[in-house]
Structure 1
Amino acid sequence: MKVGLLESHAARSSAYWAALLKELGVEVAAPVLADGEALEIGRESLPGEALGVQLALGRILALGRVDAVLVPRLPAVNADAWGEAFTELLPRRISGLPTLIDVPDGGPELESAAAEVGLRLTQNGGTVRRALDRSRLLAGGPRADMPMLTRASRVTVAVIGPRALLAEPVLAGGLRPALEALGLHPVFSHDLPLADVLKRAERMENAEKAADGERELFGAASLLSGKSAVRGLLLAAPARDGAAGAALHRVAQRMHKPTLSMTVEAGQTEFPELEAFRDRVTLGQGQPAGEGA
């Protein structure tokens, strides 16, 4: 059996699943296209969908002929159909895809899901047990430290958005240099320690009922807005992703520092609205209002 792993810079468990597949002894497919080429294929196939969906589809197709693809489940926001059921919806839209296997991206259910996947792929309990033992050290995901919040002669702003956008250079790679060119020091939400973000999210109203992605966005925004060095928040949603945009709007309504809501298109390098936002946070003018309210 030939198996692919959907590569994603936003997923925290990719190293774990890659190690598990290797230990299981199955043939693992490698992508044959760069991310930019994969994105273009996804755009052609699903032109009206959000960037993250297009990129994921392109990466699946870039794996070539495989029997199955493991798809790490990224946190979804409210009313996010793709985020909640990606592996079910995609085969309905695109015919001829390999079997898509939804797997957790970390968390307490990771090892039990890995055992099920291992048995499904090998039907050998002994092989699965050995693979689980040898991969266990990677189950916790990458360690993240709090990023630097200050930089000489620059004003700090928080950049809040879905991991599926901000962590992907092919999608949001132009945002950091655009902010730095304006003399700002951006701190991105996906670089924060996830444990700290989720701890802060406990302050969210009805946090226990909120979708995972909602809690992650609110937790990151609340954590950074509580830092005195952070002068404002930029809320970035992927183009054509209405659910993410709505979630970030709800986050903005809870903030007490200047905010700017915007959408980001893949490969975008110019963001005209950033200059006025820079002036607001640099000069200390205004409160969250208008587009960012």
Structure 2
Amino acid sequence: MKVGLLESRAARLGGYWAAYLKELGVEIVTPSLPDAEALALGQESLKGESLPVQLALGRILALDGVDAVLMPQWAPVQGDAWSEALGELLSRRISGLPNMIPVPDGGEGLESAAAEVGLRLSQNAGGVRLALERARIHAAGPRQEMPPLSVASRVTVGVIGPRTLLAEDVLGGELRAALDALGLHAVYSHELPLPEVLKRAERMQGADTAPAGERELFGAVSMLSGKGAVRGLIFAAPARDGASHAAVQRLAAQQHKPSMVITVDAGEAEAGTGSWPELEAFRDRITLGAAARAAAPEGSA
């Protein structure tokens, strides 16, 4: 049986699912196109949808001859139908897609979900139990450490946005390059240690019922806004993603530090029109403020 594993730099447990499928003896198929070509393919088919959706579709279309596709679930925000039912919605919009199986990207139900998937793919209960035992070592995902909050001669900004945007170089790489060119040291929300992010998210009003993506964004903002080295906050949302844009707008409105919201569109960036001139003004705002504080005479107010 050939099974496609939807590649995603945003998925935390891609290594777990790859190891599990290998232990099951399933043939794993990965996309045959580079990310930039997969994105372009998805944009042709779903012109009006957000970048992460277009990229996911392009990667699925680049899977050759698969019987099913495992799709690590995204952390949704309020009103985000795509994250909650990506495979189902894609199948409604695009005919002829393979059978798509959503799988968790962590959490307490990971192993039970993996067992169900294993039985569905192999029909071998003994093989599933053995595969679960051997793949368990990967279930914690990669270890994350707190990224450096300061770099010599650079002012630090926190960049907050959906993991599905910032973790993908083909989507967030242009923003990363723009911030670097402006001489800013950017600390990205998806690079923060998730356990600490989720612990901070417990302070969120209505945390018990808030969507997972909202908790991640809130926890990341809470961590970065409290750091003295972080002079400003940039909130990023993918183009044509109203739910994510609304989520970061709500968070930006609550901040006391200098903040701004930007929209990221890979198509515009590739065409040379996605340079975000507003970032330069924001850089000057927080850099001049930091320079003024550093130059103030000792003992001055």
- TM-score relative to the length of structure 1: 0.95
Alignment partner of 1:280 is 2:285:
yes
Alignment partner of 1:162 is 2:162:
yes
Which residues in structure 2 correspond to 1:109-128 (within 5 Å)? Answer: 109-128=109-128
How far 1:34 moved relative to its partner? 0.6
Partner in structure 1 of residue 207 of structure 2: 207
Which residues in structure 2 correspond to 1:243-262 (within 5 Å)? Answer: 243-262=243-262
Q: Distance in 1 between matches of 2:183 and 2:34?
A: 32
Amino acid at match of 1:72: P
1:228 partner SS: coil
How far 1:283 moved relative to its partner? 2.3
Q: Distance in 1 between matches of 2:185 and 2:102?
A: 37
Partner in structure 1 of residue 8 of structure 2: 8
Amino acid at match of 1:204: M
How far 1:27 moved relative to its partner? 1.4
Partner in structure 1 of residue 44 of structure 2: 44
How far 1:182 moved relative to its partner? 1.3
Which residues in structure 2 correspond to 1:41-190 (within 5 Å)? Answer: 41-190=41-190
Please say if residues 222 and 255 of structure 1, whose CA atoms lie closer than 8 Å, have aligned partners that are also in contact.
Answer: no
**What are the Cα deviations for residues 178-235 of structure 1, in whole angstroms up to 9, with x where unaligned?**
1122121100011000011111111111111211000101110111000000000000
**What are the Cα deviations for residues 14-39 of structure 1, in whole angstroms up to 9, with x where unaligned?**
00000000000011112211111111
Amino acid at match of 1:144: Q
Q: How many residues of Structure 1 are paired with residues of Structure 2 in the alignment?
A: 285
Please say if residues 146 and 192 of structure 2, whose CA atoms lie closer than 8 Å, have aligned partners that are also in contact.
Answer: yes
How far 1:48 moved relative to its partner? 0.2
How far 1:282 moved relative to its partner? 1.3
2:140 partner SS: coil
Q: Distance in 2 between matches of 1:241 and 1:107?
A: 26
Q: Distance in 2 between matches of 1:89 and 1:194?
A: 28
1:87 partner SS: helix
Amino acid at match of 2:287: T
| Structure 2 stretches lacking a partner, 5+ long | 291-301
| Structure 1 stretches lacking a partner, 5+ long | 286-293
Q: Distance in 2 between matches of 1:26 and 1:59?
A: 19
> What's the % identity of the aligned pairs?
68
How far 1:149 moved relative to its partner? 0.1
Q: Distance in 2 between matches of 1:106 and 1:253?
A: 30
2:85 partner SS: helix
Alignment partner of 1:234 is 2:239:
no
User: Which structure has the bigger radius of gyration?
Assistant: 2
How far 1:107 moved relative to its partner? 1.1
Amino acid at match of 2:277: P
1:53 partner SS: helix
How far 1:64 moved relative to its partner? 1.4
Q: Distance in 1 between matches of 2:93 and 2:176?
A: 34
Query: Where in structure 1 do 4 or more consecutive aligned residues deviate above 4 Å?
Result: none
Q: Distance in 1 between matches of 2:157 and 2:6?
A: 32
Amino acid at match of 1:147: P
Please say if residues 6 and 30 of structure 2, whose CA atoms lie closer than 8 Å, have aligned partners that are also in contact.
Answer: no
Please say if residues 7 and 30 of structure 2, whose CA atoms lie closer than 8 Å, have aligned partners that are also in contact.
Answer: no
Q: Alpha carbon RMSD of aligned pairs, Å?
A: 1.0
Partner in structure 2 of residue 289 of structure 1: none
How far 1:132 moved relative to its partner? 0.4
